[in-house]
Structure 1
Amino acid sequence: MSKERFQGLDLLATAVVVIDPLGVVVYANSGAESLLDMSRRSLDGQAMLGLFTDSVGFRDFLSRFKADPFDIKRQIFELIRANGSTEHVHVTLSRPDTLGDFTLMELREIEQQMKVDREARMMDQSIANKELIRNLAHEIKNPLGGIRGAAQLLEIELNSADLKEYTQVIIKESDRLQTLVDRLLAPHRKPHIAVMMNIHEVCERVRSVILAEHPKGLRIIRDYDTSIPEFLGDFEQLIQTVLNIVRNAAQALAPQISEGTAEIRLCTRVVRRVTLNRKQHRLALDLQVIDNGPGIPADIVDRIFYPLVSGREGGSGLGLTLAQTFVQQHEGTIECASQPGRTLFKVILPLQFEHASN
């Protein structure tokens, strides 16, 4: 049987498989490959019955559809991915006239809509945060220069070295605040410059910097998909993004580094048919930074990308905020999941190969 008749299904964003009367896969689109974490070749000839935890319930579901194939059937099942993870999905069975005895099965992740809603909330919150930061930074910047200048003039008039110590405190603290304000405003000053780049060059640059800072006790594991093509991105911004994430991880791993058990994994993959910020992309980069540290405190994990929020004493709380800003400038998303012994930061970036036309 020619499978060319089903190739139009690859244009769909959702996971779709075509099954024969026995429930065996005869075609799977790219969305199904991504959802099931299996290649099309592996899915070909696979019995769908074995891909659900409730195989008996799924068999009954198929039987009811066969009894009335002109009615669309829907039910929720727990899907088993190739990597062993599970996912609840809406399964829809239908039989278009053009398919004859074959059945069209559509699989929709229940979590997908929740993920879209979460991304929308994060984007709105990020926009509000950036506006607040800009306004606050400008409000601080103007009087700060006046305070520092007044302290310098006062120091000239003072004859006592003891009193000059106080003016030095004012000047040094003003400089420290000025540096903080400049860091807050930095991502909004530099233009986004997109060039063809390789994500693994970014990862290797960051790896070299972190290992130079922590020459002993830390192992950085490369888990790269070397088939990922070059894509348009701001090389410097992405280096800073990955560096901020990995450096945070290394700092959180201080106890493990002293014991010689610290690990950071840099993992790159390609994902297909993803929706980022309500926009569909054919291909995207999935970059993950995973460490075996103590995890992010539960009371701040939901606010970890907010400015000035830090789980480390002495931290500025700006590194992840800047990383989020740079990722969003690439039309991507960044998210975090943490528990003791494993913290994951996931960056998803659309793979773009041409400059957008004006």
Structure 2
Amino acid sequence: MKKNTISLGGLDLLASAVLLFDADGHIIYVNPAAENLLESSSKTLLNQTLAELFLSNEELAVLFQDALEHVFADKRQDLTLERMGREPLQVHVVVTALDNPDAPVLIELRENLQQLKLDREERLLDQSQANKELIRNLAHEIKNPLGGIRGAAQLLELELPERHLKELGEYTQVIIKEADRLQTLVDRLLAPHRRPHIVGDVNIHEVCERVRSLITSEFPNGLKIRRDYDLSIPEFRGDKEQLIQAVLNIAHNAAQVLATRMKSGDAELILRTRIARQVTLAKVRYRLALDLHIIDNGPGIPPDIRDRIFYPLVSGRDGGSGLGLTLAQTFVQQHMGVIECESRPGYTDFRILIPLP
């Protein structure tokens, strides 16, 4: 079909993906948004059928046939469309029957952002649970032999002859100090699982002010901490110390990566609180939720670790332990909340969502 037999100028400007089909089920037109969504050029997509485009196309094929036979004027449905060698598409599909023999069916695809968000949260929860089990098991496996290694090094040092103590004692001290360092790391890994969850009334702005005070005292020069609070946010039941630690871990990471900007005097950290309404967290719908943002104007999270920042021992900073965000995530999840992150050079936003009463 030639493009001038139907007005397509408006379709080219749509943000949603649009595909036009002929009566035999072949694609005869795709707009730029469809090329972008399907990650293929119009030249590649033209003349393909639904069966060639998607592996799981049965439901969409039924909708196409019903539209072709004018069973309905248009129909909407949420679908997961599998593709060969690519990520599945979570989309809201609109199938429309057209009064045009050359192009009888139009299919519009819109990314189902809510479903994508739910899937991402579910993956994060599963990942977090797996991390907890791994950390607990690994920490306990390390702890016992570590104590034995340290004890053996101490006994060995006591048995060293006086004439060799200065020379060989350095080696036993290395063993003891490294064993102590690993013991500290293991204790930090186990900390969230050992400490009882102490619940009380929490004012989130008291939490933010405590964090601001701690960051200011450690980074007194070159860092501006801006407060943007919604003072109408109610108190809620939670563990204040855990939440202070969670926010502090994120803010402290941000302050550390702002070192270069601090030297030039334009480093900025923003603590912002808002109320989010009708929020779904871990498949549960809440009327209200705390919406806390910790925003910095640093270099951003390196792309190669962006999807793994909540994994234990993953750090984007030299000398970092890679535990700060893992612990923050654990503490927030114990409050039925989630942490989301958006990052690009010059802007990183960690968003904490926690249900409110």
Residues 188-236 of structure 1: per-residue CA shift (max 9 Å, x gap): 0011121111000000000000010011100011011010011111000
Residue 292 in structure 1 maps to residue 297 in structure 2: yes
Which residue, out of 221, 227, 246, partners 2:226? 221
The aligned amino acid for 1:343 is: T
Distance in 1 (alpha carbons) for counterparts of 2:230 and 2:112: 28
Aligned partner of 2:355 in structure 1 is 350
CA separation of 1:277 and 1:75: change in aligned 2, threshold 3 A: closer
Higher Cα Rg: structure 1 or 2? 2
Residue 274 in structure 1 maps to residue 279 in structure 2: yes
Residues 260-303 of structure 1: per-residue CA shift (max 9 Å, x gap): 01001111000111110011111100001110000111000100
Distance in 1 (alpha carbons) for counterparts of 2:332 and 2:352: 7
Q: TM-score, normalised by structure 2?
A: 0.69
Distance in 2 (alpha carbons) for counterparts of 1:131 and 1:193: 22
Backbone CA RMSD of aligned residues: 2.2
Distance in 2 (alpha carbons) for counterparts of 1:75 and 1:310: 41
Aligned partner of 1:123 in structure 2 is 125
Gaps of 5+ in 1: 1-52, 56-69, 77-88, 93-107, 353-358
The aligned amino acid for 2:315 is: S
Aligned partner of 1:136 in structure 2 is 138
**Equivalent pairs, count:** 259
The aligned amino acid for 2:245 is: Q
Residue 311 in structure 1 maps to residue 316 in structure 2: yes
Q: TM-score, normalised by structure 1?
A: 0.69
Structure 1 consecutive aligned stretches of length 4 or more whose deviation exceeds 2 Å: 70-76, 89-92
The aligned amino acid for 2:150 is: R
Structural mapping, 1:50-129, within 5 Å: 74=76, 110-129=112-131
Distance in 2 (alpha carbons) for counterparts of 1:311 and 1:156: 41
Aligned partner of 1:34 in structure 2 is none
Distance in 2 (alpha carbons) for counterparts of 1:243 and 1:132: 25
Gaps of 5+ in 2: 1-12, 16-71, 79-90, 95-109
Which residue, out of 151, 156, 167, partners 2:153? 151
Deviation of 1:110 after TM superposition, in Å, equals 2.4
Residue 170 in structure 1 maps to residue 175 in structure 2: yes
Residues 137-188 of structure 1: per-residue CA shift (max 9 Å, x gap): 0000000000000000000011221100100000000000000000000000
Which residue, out of 332, 344, 355, partners 1:327? 332
Distance in 1 (alpha carbons) for counterparts of 2:174 and 2:262: 35
Distance in 1 (alpha carbons) for counterparts of 2:154 and 2:204: 47
Distance in 1 (alpha carbons) for counterparts of 2:178 and 2:77: 63
Aligned partner of 2:268 in structure 1 is 263
Residue 208 in structure 1 maps to residue 208 in structure 2: no
The aligned amino acid for 2:286 is: H
Q: Match of 1:310, SS?
A: coil
